[in-house]
Amino acid sequence: MLHVDIKASNIKLEDNRELGDHVLSINAVKVKPLQLGKNTEGEDKILDDILSIMSNSKTATAKIVESFFYQLREAYHNNNKQNVLRMVEAAYHGFTYGALILNYHVKYGVDAYVEQSAGRGFLDLYFLLRKNNGNDVPNAVKIIVEFKGTQIGDSNSIMSVTDAVKQIEERAYAFQFVGRTESKNVIIVGADFGATGETVQAKMPKTIDLPKQSFISKLIDARQATLDHTTIKQALKTIYDSTRSDESLDKVILGDLLSSNVVEKNVFTIKDFPNGQRVSMFVFKNQYQKAVILTCIEQEN
């Protein structure tokens, strides 16, 4: 990411942390930020120009984040003239993480995590930019990235950046940011630096709010008119997507029910169900004396 010139004079640092001039040794290292061409005023553009906008919660948009990843893709290819870097997901992943942490960790307070267990999968990369112009940013926008690349198999097995964005949306990845920022906004990114078609896609979906009530509490307090199938199905899907793969949905619901203030509650399990499936039935009444029967059928894999 950084170009280094060695000269036989005092060392001069011009990196993105703006350290200024320091006499450190008889050798000199001049570090230049990554150049991205010229702006409208004819001045050199650098990646910091985009990051300065991204680190401001008022100006961070999906379009700006998308442009950042387009520039990273360009840098990836410019540094791959000897074909050292492979066109695979792991390479894009490592290059991006390295660029953020090694170059911008101090100046923009990069808070980044890779391959975090997130419900039914592993989240490739999520990060916050916690500093802007030297000031802390308590409401930093959440940025979640899913990388895709060449896969072994036929062409139908290759996933696009659209698939990557869809994966983030469907697997409740944004809940991993709980407590890390005051912002409810999230920008999700799908990236494939080696794709021949669309290589980057970013979008800002609706704000991510943590449920104000547990699933069972919502059923207890709800009137009959609000107990529609779509609402219940979405709530269950969020719970399922947010739990680890080796956990069971029925155990999560059981814990929720046991901790509720429902006086009369019953749990039934059915053994020897066909195909080795495990069946649990939860029966209780809500505060409007409406019976709720929830049946959970699960099996391995």
Distance CA 200, CA 202 (A): 7
Of 25-39, 57-71, 191-205, the least confident: 25-39
Question: What does the pLDDT read at residue 238?
Answer: 78
- Whether 92 and 165 map to the same domain: the answer is yes
Question: What does the pLDDT read at residue 14?
Answer: 44
- Whether 25 and 99 map to the same domain: the answer is no
Q: Which of 163, 180, 203 is the last residue of a domain?
A: 203
Once rounded to an integer, what is the mean pLDDT over residues 90-102?
90
* 198 pLDDT more than 60: yes
Q: Model-level pTM?
A: 0.71
* 189 pLDDT more than 90: yes
Distance CA 72, CA 99 (A): 8
- Contacting residues for 193 by C-beta, under 8 A, at least 6 apart: 72, 73, 76, 77, 87, 91, 92, 95, 149, 199
- Whether 89 and 156 map to the same domain: the answer is yes
- Whether 91 and 49 map to the same domain: the answer is yes
Note whether residue 209 is domain-resident.
no
Of 41-45, 209-213, 241-245, the least confident: 41-45
- Whether 19 and 133 map to the same domain: the answer is no
Q: Which of 138, 173, 203 is the last residue of a domain?
A: 203
- Whether 105 and 194 map to the same domain: the answer is yes
- Whether 11 and 44 map to the same domain: the answer is no
* 34 pLDDT more than 60: no
User: For residue range 262-273, what is the model confidence (pLDDT) as tens digits?
Assistant: 778 899 988 777
Task: List residues bridging with 29 in a β-sheet.
Answer: 6
Note whether residue 145 is domain-resident.
yes
- Whether 98 and 147 map to the same domain: the answer is yes
User: For residue range 223-246, what is the model confidence (pLDDT) as tens digits?
Assistant: 655 667 887 888 888 788 777 755
- Whether 88 and 180 map to the same domain: the answer is yes
Tally of structural domains, the chain:
3
Once rounded to an integer, what is the mean pLDDT over residues 203-211?
73
- Whether 44 and 192 map to the same domain: the answer is yes
- Structural domain boundaries, residue 177: 39-203
- Whether 190 and 276 map to the same domain: the answer is no
pLDDT band at 82 (very low <50, low <70, confident <90, very high): low
Q: Higher-confidence residue: 49 or 155?
A: 49
With tokens 């709720």, the residue in question is 292
Q: Which of 183, 203, 223 is the last residue of a domain?
A: 203
- Which two tokens mark 215? 């699933």
Note whether residue 210 is domain-resident.
no
Once rounded to an integer, what is the mean pLDDT over residues 88-109?
90
DSSP H or E segment with residue 77: helix 62-78
- Whether 74 and 178 map to the same domain: the answer is yes
